[in-house]
Amino acid sequence: MKQFFSQRLQRHQKQMTRYLRYVFNDHFALISTFLVGGLGLYYSELLKTLPRPFPLGGIIVVAVWLFVLPLGRLATLTKPADLIFLLAKEGQMRSYLSQALRYSLWLPFGVLFLAVGATMPLVVVTANSTFASFPFFLGMMWLLKLGDLSLQRIRLYQETQQQVKQQRGIWFASALAATLASIYVAPWLGLVISILQAIWFLFGVKSNRQLLDWDYMIQAEQSRLLRIYRFINLFTDVPQITTEAKRRKYLDWLLAKIKPAQSNTYLYLYLRRVIRGGQYGGLYVRLSLIGGFVLFFVDELWISLLIGCLFLYLIGFQLIPLINEFQYMVLTHLYPVPEKQKAAAIKKIIGSLLLVTTVFFGVICCLRLPVVWQGGIAFVGFFLFAGLFLGIYLPGRLKKMHA
Protein backbone atom coordinates (compact mmCIF):
# COMPACT_ATOMS: atom_id res chain seq x y z
CA MET A 1 0.00 0.00 0.00
CA LYS A 2 2.97 2.33 0.50
CA GLN A 3 3.93 1.88 -3.14
CA PHE A 4 0.32 2.42 -4.19
CA PHE A 5 0.17 5.70 -2.27
CA SER A 6 3.48 6.81 -3.81
CA GLN A 7 2.14 6.15 -7.32
CA ARG A 8 -1.06 8.04 -6.63
CA LEU A 9 0.92 10.89 -5.06
CA GLN A 10 3.12 11.18 -8.15
CA ARG A 11 0.06 11.52 -10.39
CA HIS A 12 -1.46 14.08 -8.04
CA GLN A 13 1.71 16.16 -7.91
CA LYS A 14 2.08 16.01 -11.68
CA GLN A 15 -1.45 17.36 -12.10
CA MET A 16 -0.90 20.11 -9.51
CA THR A 17 2.39 21.12 -11.14
CA ARG A 18 0.62 21.54 -14.46
CA TYR A 19 -1.93 23.90 -12.90
CA LEU A 20 0.54 25.82 -10.73
CA ARG A 21 2.41 26.99 -13.83
CA TYR A 22 -0.60 29.20 -14.53
CA VAL A 23 -0.91 30.35 -10.92
CA PHE A 24 2.71 31.38 -10.24
CA ASN A 25 3.23 33.28 -13.47
CA ASP A 26 5.14 36.52 -14.04
CA HIS A 27 2.11 38.68 -13.21
CA PHE A 28 1.54 36.88 -9.92
CA ALA A 29 5.21 37.16 -8.94
CA LEU A 30 5.35 40.87 -9.78
CA ILE A 31 2.16 41.74 -7.93
CA SER A 32 3.13 39.60 -4.93
CA THR A 33 6.49 41.37 -4.75
CA PHE A 34 4.89 44.82 -4.63
CA LEU A 35 2.17 43.71 -2.22
CA VAL A 36 4.51 41.94 0.20
CA GLY A 37 7.00 44.81 0.03
CA GLY A 38 4.31 47.41 0.72
CA LEU A 39 2.72 45.49 3.56
CA GLY A 40 6.14 44.70 5.02
CA LEU A 41 7.08 48.39 5.06
CA TYR A 42 3.73 49.33 6.60
CA TYR A 43 4.16 46.56 9.20
CA SER A 44 7.65 47.73 10.15
CA GLU A 45 6.50 51.33 10.52
CA LEU A 46 3.60 50.20 12.69
CA LEU A 47 5.92 48.24 14.99
CA LYS A 48 8.00 51.36 15.60
CA THR A 49 4.99 53.11 17.12
CA LEU A 50 4.21 50.32 19.62
CA PRO A 51 5.38 50.60 23.23
CA ARG A 52 7.80 48.06 24.64
CA PRO A 53 6.66 45.76 26.05
CA PHE A 54 3.28 45.56 24.34
CA PRO A 55 1.14 43.00 26.27
CA LEU A 56 -1.79 43.13 23.83
CA GLY A 57 0.53 41.99 21.06
CA GLY A 58 0.79 38.57 22.65
CA ILE A 59 -2.96 38.07 22.38
CA ILE A 60 -2.81 39.12 18.73
CA VAL A 61 0.00 36.66 17.99
CA VAL A 62 -1.78 33.80 19.76
CA ALA A 63 -4.98 34.57 17.82
CA VAL A 64 -3.08 34.53 14.52
CA TRP A 65 -1.37 31.24 15.37
CA LEU A 66 -4.61 29.58 16.44
CA PHE A 67 -6.23 30.82 13.23
CA VAL A 68 -3.61 29.28 10.92
CA LEU A 69 -3.29 25.98 12.80
CA PRO A 70 -6.49 24.39 11.38
CA LEU A 71 -5.43 25.28 7.82
CA GLY A 72 -4.48 22.19 5.87
CA ARG A 73 -6.47 18.99 5.72
CA LEU A 74 -5.41 15.35 5.69
CA ALA A 75 -4.69 14.46 2.04
CA THR A 76 -5.82 10.85 1.61
CA LEU A 77 -5.92 11.12 -2.23
CA THR A 78 -8.83 8.67 -2.24
CA LYS A 79 -11.26 8.56 -5.14
CA PRO A 80 -14.93 7.55 -5.44
CA ALA A 81 -13.99 4.27 -7.14
CA ASP A 82 -11.93 3.26 -4.07
CA LEU A 83 -15.15 2.40 -2.28
CA ILE A 84 -15.34 -0.65 -4.54
CA PHE A 85 -11.80 -1.47 -5.61
CA LEU A 86 -9.94 -0.85 -2.33
CA LEU A 87 -12.55 -2.34 -0.01
CA ALA A 88 -10.76 -5.70 -0.11
CA LYS A 89 -7.55 -3.96 1.05
CA GLU A 90 -9.15 -2.27 4.04
CA GLY A 91 -6.96 -4.20 6.46
CA GLN A 92 -3.85 -2.68 4.86
CA MET A 93 -5.13 0.90 4.79
CA ARG A 94 -3.39 1.86 8.03
CA SER A 95 -0.01 1.99 6.29
CA TYR A 96 -1.64 3.94 3.45
CA LEU A 97 -3.07 6.50 5.88
CA SER A 98 0.26 6.77 7.69
CA GLN A 99 1.85 7.76 4.39
CA ALA A 100 -0.96 10.26 3.85
CA LEU A 101 -0.34 11.77 7.29
CA ARG A 102 3.37 12.24 6.62
CA TYR A 103 2.68 13.84 3.25
CA SER A 104 0.00 16.13 4.70
CA LEU A 105 2.49 17.65 7.13
CA TRP A 106 4.63 19.36 4.49
CA LEU A 107 2.27 21.97 3.06
CA PRO A 108 1.08 23.16 6.51
CA PHE A 109 4.75 23.43 7.51
CA GLY A 110 5.25 26.06 4.82
CA VAL A 111 2.17 27.98 5.94
CA LEU A 112 3.23 27.79 9.59
CA PHE A 113 6.76 28.88 8.69
CA LEU A 114 5.41 32.01 7.00
CA ALA A 115 2.93 32.73 9.80
CA VAL A 116 5.50 32.39 12.59
CA GLY A 117 8.06 34.34 10.58
CA ALA A 118 5.61 37.18 9.93
CA THR A 119 4.65 37.45 13.61
CA MET A 120 8.18 37.18 15.03
CA PRO A 121 8.77 40.98 15.01
CA LEU A 122 5.58 41.43 17.03
CA VAL A 123 6.68 38.65 19.39
CA VAL A 124 9.98 40.45 19.97
CA VAL A 125 8.13 43.65 20.77
CA THR A 126 5.55 41.87 22.93
CA ALA A 127 7.60 39.54 25.10
CA ASN A 128 11.10 41.01 24.87
CA SER A 129 12.04 37.78 23.16
CA THR A 130 14.70 37.35 20.47
CA PHE A 131 14.66 35.99 16.94
CA ALA A 132 16.69 33.02 18.21
CA SER A 133 13.41 31.65 19.63
CA PHE A 134 12.01 31.15 16.12
CA PRO A 135 12.87 27.39 15.95
CA PHE A 136 11.04 26.79 19.24
CA PHE A 137 7.90 28.53 17.99
CA LEU A 138 8.02 26.77 14.62
CA GLY A 139 8.56 23.35 16.19
CA MET A 140 5.68 23.97 18.60
CA MET A 141 3.31 24.92 15.77
CA TRP A 142 4.32 21.95 13.64
CA LEU A 143 3.76 19.49 16.50
CA LEU A 144 0.36 21.05 17.22
CA LYS A 145 -0.52 20.56 13.55
CA LEU A 146 0.59 16.94 13.82
CA GLY A 147 -1.96 16.45 16.58
CA ASP A 148 -4.66 18.06 14.45
CA LEU A 149 -3.91 15.78 11.49
CA SER A 150 -3.84 12.74 13.76
CA LEU A 151 -7.37 13.57 14.89
CA GLN A 152 -8.44 13.90 11.25
CA ARG A 153 -7.03 10.42 10.58
CA ILE A 154 -8.94 8.91 13.50
CA ARG A 155 -12.15 10.50 12.18
CA LEU A 156 -11.84 8.39 9.02
CA TYR A 157 -12.97 5.30 10.96
CA GLN A 158 -16.55 4.39 11.74
CA GLU A 159 -18.19 5.51 14.97
CA THR A 160 -15.35 7.87 15.91
CA GLN A 161 -17.15 11.16 15.34
CA GLN A 162 -18.11 11.62 19.00
CA GLN A 163 -14.65 10.57 20.13
CA VAL A 164 -13.00 13.13 17.84
CA LYS A 165 -15.32 15.89 19.07
CA GLN A 166 -14.27 15.21 22.64
CA GLN A 167 -10.58 15.06 21.77
CA ARG A 168 -10.87 18.21 19.65
CA GLY A 169 -11.54 20.18 22.84
CA ILE A 170 -8.41 18.70 24.41
CA TRP A 171 -6.39 19.61 21.32
CA PHE A 172 -7.63 23.21 21.34
CA ALA A 173 -6.88 23.55 25.07
CA SER A 174 -3.37 22.19 24.58
CA ALA A 175 -2.81 24.48 21.57
CA LEU A 176 -3.98 27.50 23.58
CA ALA A 177 -1.83 26.54 26.57
CA ALA A 178 1.24 25.94 24.39
CA THR A 179 1.00 29.22 22.50
CA LEU A 180 0.31 31.29 25.64
CA ALA A 181 3.13 29.59 27.54
CA SER A 182 5.58 30.16 24.71
CA ILE A 183 4.76 33.90 24.58
CA TYR A 184 4.32 34.79 28.25
CA VAL A 185 6.50 32.19 30.04
CA ALA A 186 9.22 30.64 27.89
CA PRO A 187 9.42 29.34 24.28
CA TRP A 188 10.76 25.96 25.42
CA LEU A 189 7.72 25.40 27.64
CA GLY A 190 5.35 25.76 24.68
CA LEU A 191 7.48 23.27 22.77
CA VAL A 192 7.29 20.76 25.64
CA ILE A 193 3.49 21.05 25.81
CA SER A 194 3.22 20.54 22.04
CA ILE A 195 5.44 17.43 22.26
CA LEU A 196 3.22 15.93 24.95
CA GLN A 197 0.03 16.61 22.98
CA ALA A 198 1.55 15.12 19.81
CA ILE A 199 2.49 11.94 21.68
CA TRP A 200 -1.02 11.76 23.12
CA PHE A 201 -2.84 12.12 19.81
CA LEU A 202 -0.46 9.81 17.95
CA PHE A 203 -0.33 6.95 20.45
CA GLY A 204 -2.77 7.64 23.27
CA VAL A 205 -5.92 8.21 21.21
CA LYS A 206 -6.88 5.32 18.94
CA SER A 207 -10.03 4.22 17.19
CA ASN A 208 -11.72 1.20 18.71
CA ARG A 209 -13.19 0.22 15.37
CA GLN A 210 -11.17 -1.21 12.51
CA LEU A 211 -13.66 -0.39 9.74
CA LEU A 212 -13.14 2.74 7.69
CA ASP A 213 -15.91 5.20 6.96
CA TRP A 214 -15.30 5.13 3.21
CA ASP A 215 -18.10 7.56 2.34
CA TYR A 216 -16.79 10.19 4.74
CA MET A 217 -13.16 9.69 3.71
CA ILE A 218 -13.91 10.07 0.01
CA GLN A 219 -16.21 13.05 0.59
CA ALA A 220 -13.59 14.78 2.76
CA GLU A 221 -10.92 14.30 0.09
CA GLN A 222 -13.20 15.58 -2.67
CA SER A 223 -13.99 18.66 -0.56
CA ARG A 224 -10.28 19.27 0.00
CA LEU A 225 -9.52 19.03 -3.71
CA LEU A 226 -12.47 21.28 -4.54
CA ARG A 227 -11.03 24.06 -2.36
CA ILE A 228 -7.71 23.74 -4.17
CA TYR A 229 -9.38 23.77 -7.59
CA ARG A 230 -11.39 26.86 -6.67
CA PHE A 231 -8.20 28.70 -5.84
CA ILE A 232 -6.55 27.58 -9.09
CA ASN A 233 -9.71 28.57 -10.93
CA LEU A 234 -8.93 32.19 -10.04
CA PHE A 235 -6.06 31.99 -12.53
CA THR A 236 -7.07 29.42 -15.15
CA ASP A 237 -9.92 27.12 -16.17
CA VAL A 238 -10.21 23.92 -14.17
CA PRO A 239 -12.29 21.09 -15.74
CA GLN A 240 -12.97 19.56 -12.31
CA ILE A 241 -15.15 22.55 -11.36
CA THR A 242 -18.66 22.67 -12.74
CA THR A 243 -21.00 25.55 -12.05
CA GLU A 244 -24.78 25.65 -12.13
CA ALA A 245 -26.78 28.53 -13.56
CA LYS A 246 -29.04 30.37 -11.12
CA ARG A 247 -32.08 32.39 -12.03
CA ARG A 248 -31.33 35.62 -10.10
CA LYS A 249 -34.53 37.28 -11.24
CA TYR A 250 -33.72 40.43 -9.26
CA LEU A 251 -30.95 41.21 -11.78
CA ASP A 252 -33.08 40.86 -14.90
CA TRP A 253 -33.32 44.65 -15.17
CA LEU A 254 -29.66 44.70 -16.21
CA LEU A 255 -30.37 42.37 -19.14
CA ALA A 256 -33.43 44.43 -20.09
CA LYS A 257 -31.22 47.48 -20.65
CA ILE A 258 -29.51 45.77 -23.60
CA LYS A 259 -31.32 46.48 -26.86
CA PRO A 260 -32.34 43.32 -28.77
CA ALA A 261 -30.08 44.01 -31.76
CA GLN A 262 -27.61 41.87 -33.66
CA SER A 263 -24.75 44.12 -32.60
CA ASN A 264 -25.46 43.28 -28.94
CA THR A 265 -25.49 39.48 -29.28
CA TYR A 266 -22.30 38.76 -27.38
CA LEU A 267 -22.88 41.62 -24.96
CA TYR A 268 -26.14 39.97 -23.91
CA LEU A 269 -24.59 36.50 -23.72
CA TYR A 270 -21.61 37.63 -21.64
CA LEU A 271 -23.70 39.68 -19.24
CA ARG A 272 -26.13 36.81 -18.84
CA ARG A 273 -23.25 34.46 -18.01
CA VAL A 274 -21.87 36.87 -15.42
CA ILE A 275 -25.26 37.35 -13.78
CA ARG A 276 -26.52 33.78 -13.77
CA GLY A 277 -23.29 31.80 -13.69
CA GLY A 278 -21.57 31.25 -10.36
CA GLN A 279 -18.03 31.36 -11.70
CA TYR A 280 -17.54 34.91 -12.96
CA GLY A 281 -20.24 36.68 -10.97
CA GLY A 282 -19.15 35.07 -7.71
CA LEU A 283 -15.52 35.77 -8.48
CA TYR A 284 -16.23 39.44 -9.12
CA VAL A 285 -18.23 39.86 -5.92
CA ARG A 286 -15.66 38.04 -3.78
CA LEU A 287 -12.67 39.98 -5.05
CA SER A 288 -14.53 43.30 -4.74
CA LEU A 289 -15.58 42.59 -1.16
CA ILE A 290 -12.15 41.33 -0.14
CA GLY A 291 -10.50 44.37 -1.69
CA GLY A 292 -12.93 46.71 0.04
CA PHE A 293 -12.38 44.90 3.35
CA VAL A 294 -8.60 45.29 3.09
CA LEU A 295 -8.88 48.96 2.08
CA PHE A 296 -11.08 49.63 5.10
CA PHE A 297 -8.14 48.94 7.43
CA VAL A 298 -5.57 51.00 5.51
CA ASP A 299 -5.00 54.69 6.25
CA GLU A 300 -1.97 55.33 3.99
CA LEU A 301 -2.66 56.81 0.54
CA TRP A 302 0.02 55.01 -1.45
CA ILE A 303 -0.75 51.64 0.16
CA SER A 304 -4.45 52.14 -0.62
CA LEU A 305 -3.54 52.91 -4.24
CA LEU A 306 -1.37 49.80 -4.45
CA ILE A 307 -3.97 47.47 -2.94
CA GLY A 308 -6.88 48.94 -4.92
CA CYS A 309 -5.02 48.71 -8.24
CA LEU A 310 -3.98 45.16 -7.38
CA PHE A 311 -7.57 44.04 -6.86
CA LEU A 312 -8.74 45.91 -9.96
CA TYR A 313 -6.12 44.05 -11.95
CA LEU A 314 -7.13 40.71 -10.45
CA ILE A 315 -10.80 41.34 -11.25
CA GLY A 316 -10.10 42.36 -14.83
CA PHE A 317 -7.59 39.56 -15.39
CA GLN A 318 -9.93 36.87 -14.07
CA LEU A 319 -12.81 38.08 -16.27
CA ILE A 320 -10.82 37.88 -19.53
CA PRO A 321 -11.49 34.12 -20.08
CA LEU A 322 -15.18 35.05 -20.35
CA ILE A 323 -14.52 35.74 -24.04
CA ASN A 324 -14.17 31.98 -24.72
CA GLU A 325 -17.34 30.90 -22.91
CA PHE A 326 -19.47 30.42 -26.05
CA GLN A 327 -16.88 29.27 -28.56
CA TYR A 328 -18.26 25.71 -28.54
CA MET A 329 -21.90 26.76 -28.85
CA VAL A 330 -23.12 25.84 -32.33
CA LEU A 331 -25.63 28.67 -32.65
CA THR A 332 -22.97 31.35 -32.16
CA HIS A 333 -21.21 29.98 -35.25
CA LEU A 334 -24.35 29.65 -37.34
CA TYR A 335 -25.66 33.09 -36.46
CA PRO A 336 -24.03 35.79 -38.66
CA VAL A 337 -22.22 37.71 -35.95
CA PRO A 338 -18.75 39.19 -36.69
CA GLU A 339 -15.91 37.83 -34.58
CA LYS A 340 -14.70 41.31 -33.59
CA GLN A 341 -17.94 41.80 -31.68
CA LYS A 342 -16.55 39.54 -28.96
CA ALA A 343 -13.69 41.88 -28.10
CA ALA A 344 -15.97 44.93 -28.03
CA ALA A 345 -18.48 43.14 -25.81
CA ILE A 346 -15.92 41.81 -23.35
CA LYS A 347 -14.30 45.24 -23.10
CA LYS A 348 -17.66 46.81 -22.30
CA ILE A 349 -18.52 44.16 -19.69
CA ILE A 350 -15.16 44.35 -17.93
CA GLY A 351 -15.13 48.14 -18.16
CA SER A 352 -18.57 48.42 -16.53
CA LEU A 353 -17.63 46.05 -13.72
CA LEU A 354 -14.32 47.79 -13.08
CA LEU A 355 -16.11 51.15 -12.97
CA VAL A 356 -18.48 49.88 -10.26
CA THR A 357 -15.56 48.51 -8.25
CA THR A 358 -13.60 51.75 -8.75
CA VAL A 359 -16.46 53.76 -7.25
CA PHE A 360 -16.78 51.23 -4.41
CA PHE A 361 -13.06 51.42 -3.59
CA GLY A 362 -13.08 55.22 -3.94
CA VAL A 363 -15.90 55.62 -1.42
CA ILE A 364 -14.07 53.42 1.09
CA CYS A 365 -10.87 55.43 0.65
CA CYS A 366 -12.74 58.70 1.16
CA LEU A 367 -14.13 57.35 4.42
CA ARG A 368 -10.92 55.80 5.75
CA LEU A 369 -8.05 58.06 4.62
CA PRO A 370 -7.14 60.90 7.00
CA VAL A 371 -8.05 63.66 4.51
CA VAL A 372 -10.90 63.66 2.01
CA TRP A 373 -8.71 64.94 -0.82
CA GLN A 374 -6.54 61.83 -0.42
CA GLY A 375 -9.63 59.76 -1.07
CA GLY A 376 -10.20 61.81 -4.22
CA ILE A 377 -6.63 61.11 -5.36
CA ALA A 378 -7.16 57.40 -4.71
CA PHE A 379 -10.37 57.43 -6.75
CA VAL A 380 -8.62 59.18 -9.66
CA GLY A 381 -5.76 56.67 -9.41
CA PHE A 382 -8.15 53.72 -9.54
CA PHE A 383 -9.98 55.27 -12.48
CA LEU A 384 -6.75 55.86 -14.43
CA PHE A 385 -5.54 52.32 -13.71
CA ALA A 386 -8.84 50.86 -14.96
CA GLY A 387 -8.52 52.99 -18.11
CA LEU A 388 -4.97 51.77 -18.74
CA PHE A 389 -6.08 48.19 -18.18
CA LEU A 390 -8.91 48.52 -20.73
CA GLY A 391 -6.97 50.58 -23.24
CA ILE A 392 -3.54 48.93 -23.20
CA TYR A 393 -3.41 45.61 -21.34
CA LEU A 394 -6.76 44.10 -22.40
CA PRO A 395 -6.32 44.51 -26.20
CA GLY A 396 -2.81 43.05 -26.03
CA ARG A 397 -4.00 40.15 -23.89
CA LEU A 398 -6.88 39.33 -26.23
CA LYS A 399 -4.58 39.52 -29.25
CA LYS A 400 -2.15 37.14 -27.57
CA MET A 401 -4.94 34.69 -26.68
CA HIS A 402 -6.12 34.47 -30.31
CA ALA A 403 -2.70 34.57 -31.95
Return the CA Rg of the chain: 25
- Work out the number of other CB atoms within 10 angstroms of the CB of residue 325: 19
For residues 379 and 359, give the distance between their C-alpha atoms in angstroms, rounded to a whole number.
7
155 burial via Cβ count (<10 Å: 0-12, 13-18, 19+): buried
Contact 168, 115 (CB under 8 A): no
For the chain, domain boundaries: 1-241, 247-400
- Under 8 Å CB-to-CB from 228, ≥6 apart: which residues? 16
C-alpha span between 205 and 174 (Å, rounded): 15
**Global pTM value:** 0.72
What is the amino acid identity at position 366? C
Distances (CA, A) of 79 to 24, 137, 242: 27, 36, 18
Return the pLDDT at 332. 63
DSSP code string of 303-343: HHHHHHHHHHHHHHHHHGGGGGTTTT-HHHHHS---THHHH
Q: Which residues contact 173 (CB under 8 A, 6 or more apart)?
A: none
CA atoms within 13 A on the CB side of 102: 9
DSSP state of 80: T
For residue 368, which of 320, 312, 307, 313 has the smallest C-alpha distance? 307
Residue of 161, 164, 163, 149 lying closest to 76 (CA atoms): 149
> b/e string for 131-140 if b means 16 or more Cβ within 10 A?
eebbebbbbb
C-alpha angle 281-283-289 in degrees, rounded to nearest 5: 100
**CA–CA distance, 400 with 87 (Å, rounded to integer):** 49
DSSP character at residue 86: S
Beta bridge partners of 157: 212
Report the length, in residues, of the chain: 403
Neighbours of 300 (CB within 10 A): 16
The contacts of residue 85 (CB under 8 Å, 6+ apart) are none
Give the three-state DSSP class for 50.
coil
pLDDT value at residue 243: 58
pLDDT of residue 26: 60
Mind listing the pLDDT tens digit of every residue in the chain (403 residues)?
A: 778 888 999 998 888 888 777 666 666 666 667 667 767 777 787 787 777 777 788 898 999 999 999 988 999 999 988 888 888 888 888 889 999 999 999 888 988 999 999 898 888 887 777 888 999 999 999 999 999 999 999 999 988 888 888 899 999 999 999 999 999 888 999 999 999 999 999 888 876 667 889 999 999 999 998 888 877 766 666 666 665 666 677 677 777 777 777 777 778 788 888 887 767 787 788 888 888 888 887 888 888 888 899 889 888 888 888 887 776 666 666 666 777 788 888 888 899 999 999 999 999 998 888 888 888 899 999 999 999 999 888 888 888 776 5
316/390 Cα distance (integer angstroms): 9
What is the predicted pLDDT for the residue at 169?
A: 92
Nearest to 280 by CA among 353, 351, 333, 385: 353
Question: CA-CA distance, 237 to 163, in Å (whole number)?
Answer: 40
> Given this model, what pLDDT does residue 221 score?
92
Contact 364, 295 (CB under 8 A): yes
Chain centre distance of CA 245: 24
pLDDT score at 328: 60
Question: Helices 26-48 & 106-127, crossing angle to 10 degrees?
Answer: 20
Which residues, other chains included, contact 9 with Cβ-Cβ below 8 Å and sequence gap of 6+? 77, 99, 103
Q: What pLDDT is stored for residue 239 in this prediction?
A: 67
